[in-house]
Amino acid sequence: MTRHDWTLDAIRAIHDMPLLDLVYRAATVHREHFGDNKVQLCSLLSIKTGGCPEDCKYCPQAARHRTEVKYQGLMDVGEVLSAAREAREAGATRFCMGAAWREVKDGPQFDRVLDMVRGVKALGMEACCTLGMLSDTQARQLADAGLTAYNHNLDTSPEHYAEIISTRGYGDRLKTLQSVRDAGIQVCCGGILGMGESIDDRCSMLQVLASMTPHPESVPINALVAVDGTPLEGQERVSTTEMVRVIATARILMPTSMVRLSAGRLQMSEEAQLLCVMAGANSIFFGEKLLTTGNPEYAEDMRLFESVGIRPLEPDVHAPSA
């Protein structure tokens, strides 16, 4: 039975349990619902990079931050599909395309993204996009093109949001997520740890996610990658135990969701990553780059997983909008 009515106190009590009890409980829930040693391999490509008008304090792609990110306009369909083919050969079952846009604008660029989605689906992979805010109609067009999932993160709690982003509100995020859900596309929604938020903020964000009906099918948990030139450049790195606590709590609250250990793996030891997997993470981004920052080497990831008997998950051919 999945629940959608968790109180903040109940979530905080889970989050604060002695670590061994917490990981044991999360691993038990994980085993009940998945019972395998599989991790989903997702590939990520930045199809439009930098120059974003938003002011997200963590993001190297915001035009107003002086970072080393180079602007790159929307890629061609052919280029994107050859990257997707390569990712499939390396074992990816999901191909995610990210654009540094505030929102989707109708026109030739959106039409090109729709072609990319059709192309990725034709390769037999799950297709995912993260393009900023969407209207109901745009969400339906993406669904018609065969999009499996749409990534749109809450990033932090409703209480902490204004500290991080001023150019849009929490309500805008929730509205896009509803358009995605209404269009029959799977929801991929999570957040970032290490942006100066309190433990209550982390629990509050998890409460918003767990109150969605149904729960988001995938929940990315990112550790802030503090990039030079962004307002959060000096933030201290989030500790392994803090990551593990949030991943384990997410697993307990949302037992059937894929919990993705997303940004920040390059800064973690192999053991720390395995702890996250033991606490219920069952999906990662692989490949040497996330959108603009580094990620562990593919061969290193494969060697690690093989050495501990973790296998890649097969593609979900029964995904709702497949």
Collect all residues with Cβ–Cβ distance below 8 Å to 307 and sequence separation of at least 6.
none
Tokens at 66, concatenated:
């002086």
Chain residues in the site for ligand SAM (CB under 6 A): 58-59, 61, 98, 100-101, 130, 132, 152-153, 155, 192, 222, 224-225, 227, 263, 291
H or E segment and range at residue 260: strand 258-261
Nearer residue to ligand SF4 within complex by CB, 131 or 313: 131
Choose the one of ligand SAM, ligand SF4, ligand DTB, none that binds residue 62, judging by a C-beta under 5 to 8 angstroms depending on kind. Answer: ligand SF4
Name the catalytic one among 42, 52, 189, 203.
Answer: 52
**188 is annotated as an active-site residue:** yes
**56 is annotated as an active-site residue:** yes
Sign of CA dihedral 29, 34, 38, 41: negative
Choose the one of ligand SF4, ligand SAM, ligand DTB, none that binds residue 12, judging by a C-beta under 5 to 8 angstroms depending on kind. Answer: none
Nearer residue to ligand SF4 within complex by CB, 166 or 256: 166
CB of 217 to ligand SAM, least distance (A): 17
Nearer residue to ligand SAM within complex by CB, 26 or 223: 223
H or E segment and range at residue 299: helix 298-308
| Angstrom distances, CA of residue 104 to CA of 142, 161, 182, 187 | 11, 22, 17, 17
246: burial class by Cβ within 10 Å (0-12, 13-18, 19+)? Answer: buried
Name the catalytic one among 42, 59, 189, 203.
Answer: 59
Check: CB of residue 315 under 8 Å from CB of residue 298: no
**42 is annotated as an active-site residue:** no
**128 is annotated as an active-site residue:** yes
| Angstrom distances, CA of residue 179 to CA of 97, 129, 139, 170, 317 | 19, 14, 6, 15, 23
98 binds ligand DTB per the rule CB under 6 A: yes
Choose the one of ligand SAM, ligand DTB, ligand SF4, none that binds residue 135, judging by a C-beta under 5 to 8 angstroms depending on kind. Answer: none
Question: DSSP letters of 10-43?
Answer: HHHHHHTS-HHHHHHHHHHHHHHHT-S-EEEEEE
Choose the one of ligand SF4, ligand SAM, ligand DTB, none that binds residue 224, judging by a C-beta under 5 to 8 angstroms depending on kind. Answer: ligand SAM
DSSP conformation class of 265 = G
Nearer residue to ligand SAM within complex by CB, 29 or 164: 164
Using CB under 6 A as the binding criterion, the count of chain residues that bind ligand DTB stands at: 16
**52 is annotated as an active-site residue:** yes
292 binds ligand DTB per the rule CB under 6 A: yes
Binding range to ligand DTB, per CB under 6 A, among 103-111, 218-226, 239-247, 311-319: 218-226
What CA–CA distance (Å, rounded) separates 127 from 87?
Answer: 12
Name the catalytic one among 245, 251, 260, 265.
Answer: 260
Tokens at 98, concatenated:
């990210």
| CB neighbourhood size of 200 (10 A) | 16
CB of 296 to ligand SAM, least distance (A): 15
- Give the type of residue at 138: Q
Tokens at 269, concatenated:
């030891």
Residues that bind ligand DTB (CB under 6 A): 44, 60, 98, 130, 151, 153, 190, 220, 222, 225, 262-263, 290-293
Catalytic residues: 52, 56, 59, 96, 128, 188, 260
